[in-house]
């Protein structure tokens, strides 16, 4: 596998952090993989993966990845 091309920098925040894989900074993907497929593969309920940012831009779970992106996933944010 080429370095960087088919990996992403995956970050899971707050209550999702317990699902963080050891290779999160170079998480292997296939081009065209969606964020939803990654979430499903990690057995994270989609209801818990509410906010997705790709390279700092808010995106949807169904967004396809090419490789090389920074992907951040947050649970629903509570308010008070």
Distances (CA, A) of 17 to 47, 49, 80: 15, 11, 22
Answer CATH for 7-74 from 3.10.20.30, 1.20.210.10, 3.50.50.60, 3.40.50.2300? 3.10.20.30
For residues 1 and 45, give the distance between their C-alpha atoms in angstroms, rounded to a whole number: 29
What does the domain layout of the chain look like in residue ranges? 7-74
pLDDT digits (tens, 9 = 90+) for 8-54: 999 999 999 999 999 999 999 999 999 999 999 999 999 999 999 99
Query: What is the model's pLDDT at position 77?
Result: 82
The pTM of this model reads 0.89
For the four alpha carbons of 53, 57, 61 and 62, in that order, the dihedral sign comes to negative
């Amino acid at each position: 596998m080429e370095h960087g091309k088919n990996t992403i920098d995956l970050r899971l925040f707050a209550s999702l952090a317990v699902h963080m894989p050891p290779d999160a900074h170079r998480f292997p993907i296939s081009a065209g993989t969606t964020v939803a497929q990654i979430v499903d593969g990690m057995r994270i309920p989609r209801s818990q993966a509410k906010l997705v940012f790709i390279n700092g831009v808010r995106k949807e779970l169904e967004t396809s990845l090419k490789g090389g992106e920074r992907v951040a996933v947050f649970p629903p944010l509570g308010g008070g």
